Amino acid sequence: MRVVIAEDAAMMREGLVRLLTDRGFDVCAAVADADTLRSAVAALVPDVAVVDIRMPPTHTDEGLRAAIDIRRDQPGVGVLVFSQYVETRYATRLLADRPSGVGYLLKDRVADVADFVDALTRVASGGTALDPEVVGHLMRAGRDTAGLTALTPREREVLSLMAEGRSNAGIAAALVITAGVVEKHVANIFAKLGLPPSDGDNRRVLAVLRHLGS
């Protein structure tokens, strides 16, 4: 799997290269600013790009803007945006058109290597990876308006994991339950929230996020 990394802190960039190489990814470019990222992605067409939000020259949101451009110009390239803090508004901007092949994670998540690699793989293969923090914000914001009070605590957990972009198998593994139980929970949630049942993970995420009002 081919990866381009855009991160301005050299220490972090090298660490990521090492981590991903070690995990069998092919890191074809590691750059330090948004413009180089755009040209690298255009030239190399990787499966996924890992993009830091704050990069030179303004250190505000150039990474995010580059990520949005890449998603528009090269729909085949997955984009995992990566930051030291999460802004729900940024997530909304990223997911604006379609919640596929996109991720938004806190940098802290690299500490759990397996989870991080899993999220990256998901994004690269057209899935979604939303940080639990973002999902938490959305869940809190939608608690009253989206009818979440009707859900059991377990169902709310499952909903969060669904919103993060995980598959049934992933949810089952995270909650240490069987896939069958997960399916039952999912069906209950969709029924309670009045959502039409949908099969694909992406369509499901979209439905959930729309429902949460992102």
Partner 1 sequence: MTDDNGPMTALRAPFTTPALRQAAFCVVGVFSAAAVLVVPALVPGLGVLCLWATGAMSREPAPTVAPPFLVLFPLTVALLVVVAAPTGRAMGAVHRRLASRLLGVYVEAPPPRASKRLGALVSDGPGWRAVGYGLLKVPLAVPQGYGVFCYVFGLVNLSYPLWWPMFRNHPPGTRLGPVWALTPFGAIGTRTFAGTFLVAAAGLAMLLVAPWVMRAGTTADVAAMRWLLGPRRLAERVRELQASRAQAIDDAATMMRRLERDLHDGAQVRLATLAMNLGMATEKLGVDGPPPDLAQARELIALAHRGAKDALADLRDLVRGIHPPVLDNGLGDALTTLATGSAVPVVVTVELPDRPAPAIETIAYFCAAELLANAAKHSRATRVGLGVLGSRRRLMLSVTDDGNGGADPDGPGLAGLARRIAVVDGVMRVLSPAGGPTRVDIELPTHV
Interface residue list for partner 1 (CB under 8 A): 9, 11-12, 15-16, 18-19, 22, 54, 59, 84, 107-108, 110-114, 116
Smallest distance from partner 1 to CB 65, Å: 19
Smaller CB separation from partner 1, 22 or 183 = 22
Residue 201 near residue 165, CB atoms below 8 Å: yes
Residue 65 near residue 34, CB atoms below 8 Å: yes
Smallest distance from partner 1 to CB 111, Å: 4
Smaller CB separation from partner 1, 11 or 196 = 11
Which residues does residue 147 pair with via DSSP β-bridges, in sequence order? none
Smallest distance from partner 1 to CB 43, Å: 28
Smaller CB separation from partner 1, 59 or 89 = 59
* 183, HSE (Cβ side, Cα atoms, 13 Å): 6
Q: From residue 181, how far is each of 44, 132, 162, 176, 206 by CA, in Å?
A: 42, 22, 14, 10, 22
Smallest distance from partner 1 to CB 82, Å: 10
Residue 48 near residue 74, CB atoms below 8 Å: no
Residue 66 near residue 51, CB atoms below 8 Å: yes
Smaller CB separation from partner 1, 62 or 155 = 62
